[in-house]
Chain A
Amino acid sequence: MDFPVIKGSGYVLVHTPNILKEAGSTQTTTRAKNPDDEYLKKLDDYLRTFEEMVAYAPNQAYIGNILPDELKDIETPWYKEENFIEGGRFGIFGEIMPEDEFYALLKHVDVFDLVKLSQEFIKEIEPKVAEHPILKEMEIELGAGEDVSELKDLLKNHAEPLYLDKKLVGCVKRAHESDVNLNAHTILENLVAKASAVLSVKNLAAKNNIDLNDVDYVLECSEEACGDINQRGGGNFAKAIAEMAGCENANGSDVRSFCAAPSHAVVNAAALVQSGIYDNVVVAAGGSVAKLGMNGKDHIKKEMPVLEDTLGGFAILISKNDGVSPVIRTDIIGRHKVGTGSSPQAVISSLVTDPLDENDLNIKDIDKYSVEMQNPEVTKPAGAGDVPESNYKMIAALGVKRGDLERKELMNFVKEHGMPGFAPTQGHIPSGVPFVGPASVMMKNGQIEKAMIIGKGSLFLGRMTNQFDGISFVMEKNSGAKKEENSVSDKEIKNMIAGAMRQMADNLLGETE
């Protein structure tokens, strides 16, 4: 079998403290209940600057300037200044973008003139856009801009504000008077998802020397829905992103499955490539506005910065086997089936040990497991614990039960086959895929051979079913050589020779007659 490969990946983060304040779900619901809530008042004092957010070690891991394992050697809490690391806003997989540049991108990806920016802001941002390595190539036209008074009028007419340092610099208009699916808040959410996904695809191309004209198909896998009153969630983000990124020859569609969607999308993309339907398929997703500041109240309670000030995005290109890039072992796929059940043991067995068993692999044969890579510094104060660690413990506990490892090895396994969480808590973003980039690097360096990427999700959040969901796949270092054709068995060869000898015997007999 000739497996498809992961040709490259792009990872971006966007620092959006103002969008957090205006549109994150914790903040909007709090404001709806009581506009003078203490939490909202305190919020400003607990937000980070762009520099603080860039120097934050997990963010540097996300864009590829350090490997996730290196986080083990950095003192915690990572958000303390003395534990900041250098690395800058550009990384080997992508970049970290400040909010002002992102507003320009937001305007650029909006094709219905719903994003309005102030004249003053446009003047300030244009030189920055002209210097940005990717934006400068995108022919971004921001126009003349609006008067701030006009923006204020639009806010009275249900637009969502865009602030910078408490200054109104723009807004997002609603797209329809009465359709809730097209109100300003939803349009903002969707444009943010689109813009951050476009930035991810652009970084994927820039960092891996990829010609986006070669992309045949885009699978988008975020947690947003776009559509109007007649087809809420109808789509198609993928094609909108492909258009803006410049994938002229691409077709596309959206894949939804809560947090598990990225892994589903990668497996689907692998299938499309392996079947020969397409040669190059991009899997991409942008960030989620709703989850900005989700655990902010707990963070402030613990006197720490509100760490969820960051949008995440990623893009992965899956292509035909090039003999170099890591392959996707499409014969080792773990599936959470409808009949699997929801108990932790059942879920992990279906995703981890069942596919290993089918392929006669041991739990230790996978060098690294990538689970829900949520940054524990975000989740622990909110009472959700260290998410990656509890997943690793479950895998290890199953291994002990099966006799793959001894009980005393349990914590060692967690350390060696796991890694610290480093992804922003953006729902689908942390789900397995953040390690695809680092895994490729580690395979190139000869540090690992096999990595399992596990995407999981709870579907009952949508109140349609109580089912959990999940899918896993294995990435493997490319062995280089194409597979030797071994279709002729020894026995067949012997039969061929025996046949030839009989013919020879017949010939001899024929001559004597």
Chain B
Amino acid sequence: MTDKVKERVAGVFNEVAAAIESGQFGQKKKIGLTLLDSEHGIDELKKAARLAENNYNDLEVELIGCEGDKCSCLADAHSIMDQKLEENEIDAAVTLHYNFPLGVSTVGRVVTPGQGKKMLIATTTGTTDTNRVPSMLKNTIYGIAAAKSLGIEKPTVGILNVEGARLVEKNLRKLKENGYEFEFAASVRADGGSVMRGNDLLLGVPDIMVTDTLTGNMLMKVFSAFNTGGQYEAVGYGYGPGVGEDYDKLIGIISRASGAPVIANAIKFMAEVSKGNLLEITEIEMKAANNAGLKNIISEIKNSSSTAETEAVKEPTKKITDEEIAGIDILEIDAAKETLWKKDIYAETGMGCTGPVILIAEEDEAEARAELKKAGFVE
């Protein structure tokens, strides 16, 4: 055994010894909770913290704002919280009205009224992507990461029947064929399929319900407050942890209307994903999805929606290109090609060993050169 391994073994012994003394096995997760801006007041938040600590012995709550740390507004509380997360003083945090960077959105967790089943909704707040279908594709991966960090080894994925659902389904199948492993859920409706309807939503058929973020946000409200009239969110686990590629903090979101039971669950939710290494799992899942071509699929989707407008120049009849014209600036090479296309001269672009070139048929070379000169691409 090397010294390094010995050190680690000794560390485990110390942990065990501490556990025997305290009667508390496993390290407690420290979860920060900001105390501002709830519609139900500070006391509701404090009540939630007590509730969480009493119900679950694997976590402790650190209150942020108003008492120990003097701060008067939520923004201050957020910066204190961010700092504590960065310095590993706390493992995760629960807060509200937090601005995630573009690319990060939250995976919420509800208790479905149909069968009291827990179901993840991916995603519920934040912006995954500016484009709808790519956004839902990434939401799927975020949802899978969250589910796996909660210990669901083979989570099932359903796609809520919102605009773009079929495209999302088609591209998820592509990912799956390319080797990204996950399971589709099957709708309870007679026609089946992995696109989910109202019944599936109420029953909680899939482990992860994939949707656009706005719809997801609305679903959270309905699931947690349908029985209270909306002012008080009484059931469920809140809007969940922010997940994103390269995002390195565990921050869980509740709303201004979340009641103490929901907040306590949100605290527990964050302790669980912290223990389940959500950040590492997200990295692994994104990598696996990218290896299966997620990035290419997304750029294809984005291109197909933009080429429709730009593809104005018609491609001339293809020819064998056996000559090349060099000396055109790399940033203008495509424009140079289009200039030739407009004159009905067939050309391709290429990157040879001496830099960018226009590839051209021998018989067109002189004419092409003249055109490029006229347009100022070559001297």
Residues of B within 8 A of A485 (CB): 2
Instruction: Quote the shortest CB–CB distance from B279 to chain A (angstroms).
Output: 14
Q: Is B9 an interface residue (CB 8 A)?
A: yes
Query: Which chain A residues numbered 11 to 64 have a C-beta less than 8 Å away from chain B?
Result: none
B interface residue count range (under 10 / 10 to 19 / 20 to 34 / 35 or more): 35 or more
Determine if A460 and B355 form an interchain contact, defined as CB atoms under 8 angstroms apart: no
Cβ of B315 under 8 Å from chain A? no
CB-contact partner of B12 in A343, A393, A497, under 8 A: A497
A86 at the interface (CB under 8 A from B): no
In Å, the complex CA distance between A153 and B350 comes to 49
The answer to whether A383 touches B379 (Cβ under 8 A) is yes
Report yes or no: A463 in contact with B329, Cβ–Cβ below 8 A: no
B356 adjacent to A394 (CB under 8 Å)? yes
Assess the B331–A397 pair: CB atoms within 8 A: yes
Nearest B residue to A346 via CB reads B351
**CA A175 to CA B379, docked complex, whole Å:** 46
In contact, B331 and A379 (Cβ under 8 angstroms): no
Residues of A near B333 (CB, < 8 A) are 344
- The answer to whether A385 and B329 touch across the interface, beta carbons within 8 angstroms, is yes
A384 at the interface (CB under 8 A from B): yes
A343–B350 CB distance below 8 A:
yes
Report which residue of A258, A391, A427 has the largest number of chain B beta carbons within 10 angstroms of its beta carbon: A391
A347, B326: Cβ atoms closer than 8 Å: no
Q: Which residues of chain A have C-beta atoms less than 8 A from B354's C-beta? A: 372, 374, 379, 384, 387
A390 at the interface (CB under 8 A from B): yes
| Stretch from A111-119, A279-287, A437-445, A488-496 forming part of the interface with B | A488-496
Query: Contacts of B331 on A, CB cut-off 8 Å?
Result: 393, 397
Q: When the two chains form their complex, are residues B12 and A493 in contact, meaning their CB atoms are under 8 A apart?
A: yes
B4 at the interface (CB under 8 A from A): yes
- The one of A258, A456, A466, A493 that contacts B351, using a Cβ cutoff of 8 Å: A456
CB of A260 within 8 A of CB of B8, answer no
Within 8 Å CB of B378, what residues of A? Answer: 383
Residues of B within 8 A of A493 (CB): 5, 8-9, 12
Separation of A347 and B329 alpha carbons in the complex (Å): 16
Closest B residue to A347 by CB, please name it.
B351
B379 near A456: Cβ-Cβ < 8 Å: no
Does B359 touch A at the CB level, under 8 Å? yes
- Nearest Cβ on chain A to B151's Cβ, whole angstroms: 14
Using CB atoms, name the residue of chain B closest to A394: B330
Contacts of A93 in B (CB 8 A): none
Contact with A along B329-365 (1 / 0, CB 8 A): 1110110000000000000111111111101000000
- Determine the residue in chain A with the shortest Cβ distance to B351: A347
CB contact between B355 and one of A258, A387, A427, A497 (< 8 Å): that residue: A387
**Within 8 Å CB of A374, what residues of B?**
354
Whether, in the assembled complex, B321 has its beta carbon less than 8 Å from a beta carbon of chain A, the answer is yes
Q: Which of A357, A456, A497 contacts B353 (CB 8 A)?
A: A456
Interface membership of chain A positions 451-478, coded 1 if the CB is closer than 8 angstroms to chain B and 0 otherwise: 0000011101001001010100000000
Q: List CB contacts (< 8 Å) of B202-224 with chain A.
A: none
What is the chain A residue whose CB lies nearest that of B323?
A: A460
Chain A, 59-115, CB within 8 A of any chain B CB: none
Indicate whether B16 reaches chain A with its CB closer than 8 angstroms: yes
Q: Judge whether A372 and B327 touch: CB under 8 Å.
A: no
A484 beta carbon closer than 8 Å to chain B: yes
A311: chain B residues at CB < 8 Å are none
Closest approach, in angstroms, between the C-beta of B36 and any C-beta of chain A? 34
Of residues B2, B350, B351, which shows the largest number of chain A Cβ atoms within 10 Å of its Cβ? B351
Name which residue of chain B comes closest to A385, CB basis: B327
* Complex CA–CA separation, A457 to B356 (angstroms): 11
Question: Looking at A258, A344, A460, A466, which has the most chain B CB atoms within 10 Å of its CB?
Answer: A344
Nearest CB to that of A467 among chain B residues? Answer: B350
Report yes or no: A343 in contact with B329, Cβ–Cβ below 8 A.
Answer: no
Question: Judging by beta carbons under 8 Å apart, are A372 and B350 in contact?
Answer: no
B355 touches A488 (CB 8 A): no
**Residues 1-43 (chain B) with a chain A CB within 8 angstroms:** 2, 4-5, 8-9, 12-13, 16
What separation, in Å, do the CA atoms of A427 and B354 have in the docked complex?
A: 9
B101 to chain A, nearest CB (A): 12
CB of B322 closer than 8 Å to a CB of A = yes
Contacts of B330 in A (CB 8 A): 344, 390-391, 393-394, 397
Given contacts A384-B326, A390-B329, A397-B330, A372 and B353 within 8 Å (CB-CB): yes
Given A391-B355, A458-B353, A466 contacting B2 (CB threshold 8 A): no
Q: Is there a chain A Cβ closer than 8 Å to B290's Cβ?
A: yes
> How would residues 351 to 389 of chain A score, 1 for a CB under 8 Å from any chain B CB and 0 otherwise?
000000100100000000000101000010001110100
> In the assembled complex, which residues on chain B have CB atoms less than 8 Å from the CB atom of A431?
353
| Residues of chain B with a CB closer than 8 A to A360's CB | 287
Q: Is the CB of B8 within 8 A of A342?
A: no
> How far apart are the CA atoms of A384 and B378 in the complex, in Å?
10
Shortest 6 CB-CB contacts between residues of A and residues of B: A347-B351, A259-B353, A458-B352, A344-B351, A342-B350, A390-B355
Q: List 24 A-B contacts (CB under 8 A).
A: A259-B353, A343-B334, A343-B349, A347-B350, A357-B295, A374-B354, A383-B327, A384-B326, A385-B355, A390-B330, A394-B351, A431-B353, A456-B353, A457-B352, A458-B352, A458-B357, A460-B322, A468-B351, A484-B2, A484-B4, A488-B5, A490-B8, A497-B9, A501-B16
Contact residues of A with B, CB < 8 Å?
258-260, 342-344, 346-348, 357, 360, 372, 374, 379, 383-385, 387, 390-391, 393-394, 397, 427, 431, 456-458, 460, 463, 466, 468, 470, 484-485, 488, 490, 493-494, 497, 501
